[in-house]
Amino acid sequence: MIECGHFIGGKRVAGTSGRKQDVMQPMDGTVRGTVALASQAELRAAVENAKAAQPGWAATNPQRRVRVLMKFLELVAKEYDSLADILAREHGKTIADAKGDIQRGLEVVEVCIGAPHMMKGEFTDGAGPGIDVYSMRQPLGVVAGITPFNFPAMIPLWKIAPAIACGNAFILKPSERDPGVPLRIAELFIEAGLPAGILNVVNGDKEAVDAILDDPDIKAIGFVGSTPIAHYIYSRGTASGKRVQCFGGAKNHMIIMPDADMDQTVDALIGAGYGSAGERCMAISVAVPVGNDTANRLMEKLVPRVESLKVGPSTDSSADFGPLVTAQALERVKGYVDTGVKEGAKLVVDGRGFSMQGYENGYYMGGCLFDNVTSDMRIYKEEIFGPVLSVVRAPTYENAIKLANDHEMGNGVAIFTRDGDAARDFASRVQVGMVGVNVPIPVPIAYYTFGGWK
């Protein structure tokens, strides 16, 4: 049994609040260990450590700071397999998906090695008689990140690396569902030469979050998670005078034009809709074929592919996806499928009854596929976060683009077509933050920005 405490002042520390939560292993429903839930006092201890260490780190030559990132990359490379194993066992995603999770985080670390160049200021000689003007970039001080369960390596690294490269101290509050990898990441940063106190990890629930939001010494917060919690964090954090960046929920559409290569399209939908059991903020959860003929051709090829998806434990390298993260998440997703049926959508493939011999207590369900979904249904409007794909038939291209633009979420969108003019028109008119053309999950490469439109 593992015991996950916190990481404060350069070392692991046991929790002192007396509150704990089980860390589950989704593939078989067993208890893997416990995680401590921090009190306000424990969060404050992390802040004090960060506040004391930050001035010296900010005064460190930027090149020396990024050498820590270089060494960190070397250390992670040696532990890649073990980190992926921890991640897969605590989250439930396959080993292949776990390695991808880590890799996308490391790509941002690699970009941040260029921070000394990116932080250069501006200079104007002779702006006035005897006057020069220049700008300087200064770290904020102590900053924090509140990250979700679905990418326990990638999203923490997206926040840690830029913050510390720029001379800040960072406090991470990861998801209490899969705390193992964030704690090991913190240890590896110390082994790479990061001074104690610059990176602290505080595990916890709402009490820890509220302490972060209210602490006067934390100057900025980054959050990724559900939209209701994003609203809460943004309003409470800004009320405390902090800079706050929040990424909420998503409902990503794929527009399928009549001229699309249908085999390529279906391959893309299978990976983008069902990979990692649909627990991705960039998952394609809505397919929008343009015209009934396109829809019929799509369904003819898509249905057997969804029916043949292999669900298996995280350690099964041949599985297409693994279990959901918790029993509660499983019941929530099944509840959405029940709702879709009640709303009148046609459930073409039903994965609710899936069970695996030897893993009966795991949090599994098979892929689900709805047809004839309409924009007034809950399964269309809300983020399901599971292996459920909805097909919304659009009579025309204009209807399809309006569908994407009218949705209250605008994170990612894709169009599959062979028509360059249609692709260009779509990219310029769609009101969504990240657009893919024949690319199902349009997550930009690490040196581009990431974010939605709405």
- Residues belonging to the active site: 281
Q: Which residue has the tokens 């921890």?
A: 86
Report whether 66 contacts 234 (CB < 8 A). Answer: no
- The β-bridge relationship of strands 131-134 and 199-201 is unpaired
- Give the CA count within 13 Å in the CB-facing half-sphere of 417: 22
Report whether 66 contacts 193 (CB < 8 A). Answer: no
SS3 content of the chain, % helix, strand, coil (to 5): 40, 20, 40
Report whether 95 contacts 314 (CB < 8 A). Answer: yes
Q: In what order do the strands lie in the sheet with 142-146?
A: 11-13, 6-8, 199-201, 169-173, 142-146, 218-224, 243-247
Residue 444 has what DSSP assignment?
P
Q: Which residue has the tokens 């204009």?
A: 398
DSSP string, 353-374: T---TT-TTS-----EEEES--
